[in-house]
């Protein structure tokens, strides 16, 4: 009769193959994820640069428009703040019925 050593070694080899396959799949997923992260980082950097340039252009344009508006606007007299009027305690007129 057999003592089962052949079955044990077959199951051991199969388990080693499963472990090796799982490690290969894990490293492939990791490699693909690293590629995706690198691509996304490059896209983010490009977008930030583009947005920064647009913001700078908008600020320059706003500064030019503001300067032009200040030059063309007529000089205004500065108004003093008005004093609050004192409250009178006069009786209200009665309504006719």
Kindly state the tokens that stand for 48. 């930030």
Hey, which bits of 1-97 come out as E strands?
none
Report how far residue 47's alpha carbon sits from residue 41's, in angstroms, rounded to the nearest whole number.
10
Residue 71 pLDDT greater than 70, yes or no = yes
- Residues 47-54 have a mean pLDDT of 96
- Residues 12-38 have a mean pLDDT of 95
């Amino acid at each position: 009769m057999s003592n089962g050593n052949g079955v044990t070694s077959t199951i051991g080899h199969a388990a080693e193959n499963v472990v090796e396959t799982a490690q290969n799949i894990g490293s492939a997923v990791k490699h693909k994820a690293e590629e995706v992260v690198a691509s996304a980082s490059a896209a983010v950097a490009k977008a930030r640069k583009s947005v920064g340039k647009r913001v700078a252009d908008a600020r320059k344009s706003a500064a030019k428009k503001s300067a032009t508006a200040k030059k063309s606007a007529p000089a205004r007299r500065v108004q003093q703040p008005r004093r609050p009027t004192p409250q009178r305690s006069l009786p209200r007129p009665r309504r006719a019925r």
